[in-house]
Amino acid sequence: MRNENHSGASIGCVINGAIMNIIITGASAGIGFALAKLYAKQGVNLGLIGRSSEKLAIISAICREQGAQVVTAAIDVTDTEALKNWLLAFDAQFPVDLLIANAGVTSIMPDDGAGESWAAVSQVLDVNIYGVFNTVYPLIEPMRQRQKGQIALVSSLAAFRGMPISPAYCATKAAVKSYGEALRGWLQQDNVQVNVICPGFVKSQLSDQFTQPKILIMSAEQAAKIIQRGLEKNNAVISFPFPLDLGMKILGILPAWFVNWIFTVLNYSAKNTV
């Protein structure tokens, strides 16, 4: 099997017997990296996407060492055409059983009280919304045709209640959650499973940018195991850890003044310059 680091890659299959074909975006770091490691074994064809070829080479070597066949692609998920072409080429060779739309970025209020810059807002909207739609959309029809497949969209517990510390990020995660829930309702008639993943704090470069208290933070490896179990059970929403999940859901139904007071106490509120 060849390993190509560009879109439109030529892909050759050498595995016989039971095969599982999995694509993970954002596989070069954090949760995606841990998921790739967890799924990598003999009989698995992995398509791993990220922007950094160097980081993809690291995860690819680990996964091959564990017996998986790996194809990597250094593609920005906001590049609709490049991503679509690569996904369809991969799917034509390895009909995708599991697609995990995980790549994401965050935007956090700066300490100086200036508010989110438009550059940060537009990047988080592009990657977390268009990037996820760009990943999922091209494979919906092939999976419907086959009447088989599973699509997992990585959202966040931040989807359950907007937090003043990261308004644009929370909005993108709510959008992804809503899209996944709607897709699940639509695609169940075609035997395509759709799952929304809502992690709490997970140790990664992304969460390192958040300097406030990270309640019940866990490792990416722990998170990946919970996600894998939830996907095996085909849970509609895989949200964790339980206490934080419950807490965010309760915040979602409490009066806004009270919730905003809690966010202020937790230091999850934006700094105010006026």
Ligand X SMILES: NC(=O)c1ccc[n+]([C@@H]2O[C@H](COP(=O)([O-])OP(=O)(O)OC[C@H]3O[C@@H](n4cnc5c(N)ncnc54)[C@H](OP(=O)(O)O)[C@@H]3O)[C@@H](O)[C@H]2O)c1
Cβ neighbours around 252 below 10 Å, total = 12
Torsion sign (Cα): 35, 122, 76, 135: positive
Closer residue to ligand X (CB): 105 or 262:
105
Q: Which of 84, 88, 68 is nearest to 76 (CA)?
A: 84
- Asked whether position 52 contacts ligand X by CB under 6 A, the answer is yes
Question: Candidates 8-16, 44-52, 245-253, 261-269 — which segment interacts with ligand X by CB under 6 A?
Answer: 44-52
In the region spanning residues 218 to 257, those forming contacts with ligand X, defined by CB under 6 A, are: none
Q: Angle formed by the axes of helices 167-187 and 131-146, to 10°?
A: 10
- Asked whether position 167 contacts ligand X by CB under 6 A, the answer is no
In the region spanning residues 126 to 145, those forming contacts with ligand X, defined by CB under 6 A, are: 127, 131
For the record, the structure tokens of 213 come out as: 């208290």
Q: Which of 84, 86, 94, 109 is nearest to 5 (CA)?
A: 86
Alpha carbons 40 and 51: distance in angstroms, whole number: 20
Please state the closest distance from residue 156 (CB atom) to ligand X, in A: 4
Please state the closest distance from residue 145 (CB atom) to ligand X, in A: 27
Among 11, 31, 109, 238, binds ligand X (CB under 6 A): 31
Site map (CB under 6 A) of ligand X, residues 205-224, x = contact: xxx-----------------
Site map (CB under 6 A) of ligand X, residues 94-123, x = contact: --------xxxx------------------
Cβ neighbours around 148 below 10 Å, total = 15
Question: Candidates 75-83, 90-98, 111-119, 266-274 — which segment interacts with ligand X by CB under 6 A?
Answer: 75-83
- Asked whether position 202 contacts ligand X by CB under 6 A, the answer is yes
67: left (phi over 0), alpha (psi -120 to 50) or beta: left
Residues that bind ligand X (CB under 6 A): 25-32, 50-52, 55, 76-78, 102-105, 127, 131, 154, 156, 199, 201-202, 204-207
